[in-house]
Structure 1
Amino acid sequence: MNDARNRTVRLARRPVGLPGRDTWAIADEPVPVPQEGEVLVEVKAISLDPAMRGWLDEGKSYIPPVGLGEVMRAAGAGVVLQSRDPRWKPGDTVMGGLGVQKLACVRGRDLEPIDIAIAPFERWLGVLGVPGMTAWFGLFEVGALKDGETVVVSAAAGAVGGLVVQLAKSRGCQVVGIAGGPDKCRLVVEQFGADACIDYKSQDVRAGVSAALPGGVDVYFDNVGGEILEAMLTLLRRRARVVICGAVSGYNDFANIRGPRNYLNLLIQRARMEGFVVFDYAARYPEARAEIARGLADGAIRALEDVRDGIDTFPDVLPLLYSGGNFGKLVLRP
């Protein structure tokens, strides 16, 4: 172990709006000592996800909020240094809820093995991790995608959206992405294979999608909520499905989130809109991961990670998720 101390990021106060530096307390702490059933992991990569903003607020949700004074919750991947769980030994590579810190002491039963010969640590937090599982189960289980349908994906240059685009194309679908800025739109078309991408910063989203898919939309995979969700509801085909994955446009102002005014089009089109939490599918992750791994191996799926360095940069890097400042899966290397 190279570090005599453990660098941690803890929640110092609950933010109003976008988290700032005063939201966090960053400090060097004693190295944790694993107890019976626990494992000490050197964290090699930390996953930064839009859902983190919701974990900072008190109130009812699908997961309890991060407590004041607690290490910030985050998925991570790393190497076992010490183990008091017979399932793990020093040198094993694992992933799990490691938090935003350099050294994590966690229960061995909460870890999964990973093979860095297949993919680097960062990729196990992206297309092979929770974002990949979110894309796969959201599209195929909640969205009930059928071969050859029309699909629209918001935040299509992001960790989840980019994979949704590729999975839908693998089923012969016509796919339109929505992203912010020409560079991201080029990425969505040229790297992820979308048939078109609408730049919500400079184009009328409803008009752009309508021109690209004049027959309407069978599946809308929503990562942003707000005005874009409202626009997409007007373009649904009969028996369409709207997958509510996230609402990043409103994460920093929950009090003023506005529901879509034209939701009655769901009735007119006999469509449905359904939210989901990927953890409900945990028992089936191997099924999705196997297909994604095959796609990576044969080149059918492209992975993109936006890797930043340094625990101390966390307060500055996290807000990129809400300003559109990242390309692909945002990962922090401690």
Structure 2
Amino acid sequence: MGNRSILLVERPTGMPNDKNFELVESEELPRLNEGEVLIQTIYLSVDPYMRGRMSGRKSYIEPFALNEVLSGGIVGQVIESKDGNFKVGDYVEGRLGWSDYNVAKSHQVRKLNPSIAPISTALGIVGMPGLTAYFGLLDIGEPKEGETVVVSGAAGAVGSTVGQIAKLKGCKVIGIAGTEEKCQYLKEDLHFDEVINYKTDNIKDKVKQYTPDGVDIYFDNVGGDISDEVIKRINYKARIILCGQISSYNATEIEHGPRIQGLLVQKSALMKGFIVGDYANNHEEGLKQLGEWVNSGKLQYRENIVEGLENAPHAFIGLFKGDNLGKQLVKVSDD
């Protein structure tokens, strides 16, 4: 039995394409040393931040090396163990390779309890995207009842969770997404107060219409022209949370937009960027609360699942085309 893996063989210029990736296969499974476990991948996560790691530029996380296995969030099952903390059959989550099988040490993975929530949620709403939404909104945004919250990229794994938590805190929530299906989901299933389709609506007019009292919190997953229009509407002591800038991840030139420093001064507003790793010491707290909200039905979620390890690059590229509603996953094997 062999082990397939996906390598990054060429750094993307602009939008990634199939030529940037290669599927390779080894004839044997990896061998274990003491203190290690062999994990069969069930789901792997594709996330927008990975595009930055493919560029080779120095950032908050090491870039991917060429001709080596890509890595990201993985949920899998232990099929062999030389670590007393894990037994065969345990479900685990960790940052591992885009491969059918991975070897890991105990500090690289956390054990999952499938009776609490479906194991796939460990890569979504009860995982890194959920924690990103939880800490970004609650710690930086500090939402208060009656405030107006705008979320861009609102139908994605992070944005949809942000909007729901804001509703739990008694806020008015406006979501921005790119298809009628996504807007309908936000409005009818997640009960956002208003939604804007940035591809068909006039962003400037709709933001003004839906925020008559201004914007208190803007959770920015997108950047670009959308953010320019939302930020024009900020209130005194507004909070702008910079989570992602997916509109510019494939840009080949530096984009220039409005200079907003004067507006931030005028409004005594806060603009702060963050990564979920900033809250590493508090992850257990966040996972516990997110799990409780999911189990009680207070948080809903969607998953967009592509079948087959070989299709992981296509799923990743689809993130930048808006193909996913909810968390984008690749199912590598059956549970």
Query: Is TM (by shorter chain) over 0.5?
Result: yes
CA contact (8 A) 1:43 1:79 kept: yes
Alpha-carbon distance in structure 2 between the residues aligned to 1:76 and 1:142: 28
SS in structure 2 of the partner of residue 301 of structure 1: coil
Q: Any stretches of 5+ residues in structure 1 without a counterpart?
A: none
Deviation at 1:259, TM superposition (A): 4.4
| Structure 1 segment 143-162 matched on structure 2, within 5 A | 143-162=141-160
Instruction: Give deviations 1:106-143, integer Å, cap 9, x for gaps.
Output: 22211111111222222111000100000000101122
Alpha-carbon distance in structure 1 between the residues aligned to 2:62 and 2:116: 33
Aligned to 1:18, which of 15, 19, 31? 15
Deviation at 1:312, TM superposition (A): 0.8
Matched, 1:284 2:252: no
Matched, 1:167 2:157: no
SS in structure 1 of the partner of residue 187 of structure 2: helix
Alpha-carbon distance in structure 2 between the residues aligned to 1:62 and 1:254: 20
Alpha-carbon distance in structure 2 between the residues aligned to 1:260 and 1:243: 17
Equivalent residue for 1:269?
267
RMSD over equivalenced CA pairs, Å:
1.2
Equivalent residue for 2:331?
333
SS in structure 2 of the partner of residue 74 of structure 1: strand
Tell me the number of residue pairs that the alignment of Structure 1 and Structure 2 aligns.
331
Equivalent residue for 1:72?
70
| Structure 1 segment 1-334 matched on structure 2, within 5 A | 4-29=1-26, 30-253=28-251, 255-334=253-332
Which amino acid counterpart does residue 263 of structure 2 have in structure 1?
N
Alpha-carbon distance in structure 1 between the residues aligned to 2:252 and 2:114: 38
Alpha-carbon distance in structure 2 between the residues aligned to 1:333 and 1:254: 32
Instruction: Give deviations 1:156-203, integer Å, cap 9, x for gaps.
Output: 000000000100000010000000021111111111111000110011
CA contact (8 A) 1:44 1:78 kept: yes
Segment drifting more, 187-196 vs 288-297 = 288-297
SS in structure 1 of the partner of residue 191 of structure 2: coil
Alpha-carbon distance in structure 2 between the residues aligned to 1:220 and 1:34: 47
CA contact (8 A) 2:207 2:229 kept: no
Segment drifting more, 141-150 vs 227-236 = 141-150
Q: Any stretches of 5+ residues in structure 2 without a counterpart?
A: none
Segment drifting more, 169-178 vs 261-270 = 261-270
Deviation at 1:98, TM superposition (A): 1.9
Alpha-carbon distance in structure 2 between the residues aligned to 1:83 and 1:66: 28
Deviation at 1:243, TM superposition (A): 0.3
CA contact (8 A) 2:144 2:170 kept: no
Deviation at 1:35, TM superposition (A): 2.1
Alpha-carbon distance in structure 2 between the residues aligned to 1:201 and 1:19: 22
CA contact (8 A) 2:148 2:217 kept: yes
Deviation at 1:313, TM superposition (A): 0.9
Segment drifting more, 280-289 vs 219-228 = 280-289
SS in structure 2 of the partner of residue 318 of structure 1: helix
Q: 1:85 to 1:259 in 2, by over 3 A?
A: farther
Which amino acid counterpart does residue 205 of structure 2 have in structure 1?
A
SS in structure 2 of the partner of residue 255 of structure 1: coil
Instruction: Give deviations 1:64-121, integer Å, cap 9, x for gaps.
Output: 0011121111101111112222221211111001221110112221111111122222
Which amino acid counterpart does residue 214 of structure 2 have in structure 1?
G
Normalising by the residue count of structure 2, what TM-score does the alignment of the two structures yield? 0.96
CA contact (8 A) 2:38 2:101 kept: yes
Q: 1:60 to 1:259 in 2, by over 3 A?
A: farther
Alpha-carbon distance in structure 1 between the residues aligned to 2:200 and 2:328: 24
Alpha-carbon distance in structure 1 between the residues aligned to 2:83 and 2:255: 45
Q: 1:151 to 1:118 in 2, by over 3 A?
A: same
Segment drifting more, 321-330 vs 100-109 = 100-109
Q: 1:255 to 1:37 in 2, by over 3 A?
A: farther
SS in structure 2 of the partner of residue 249 of structure 1: helix
Alpha-carbon distance in structure 1 between the residues aligned to 2:104 and 2:9: 22
Percent of matched pairs sharing the same residue: 38
Alpha-carbon distance in structure 1 between the residues aligned to 2:94 and 2:204: 39
CA contact (8 A) 1:71 1:99 kept: yes
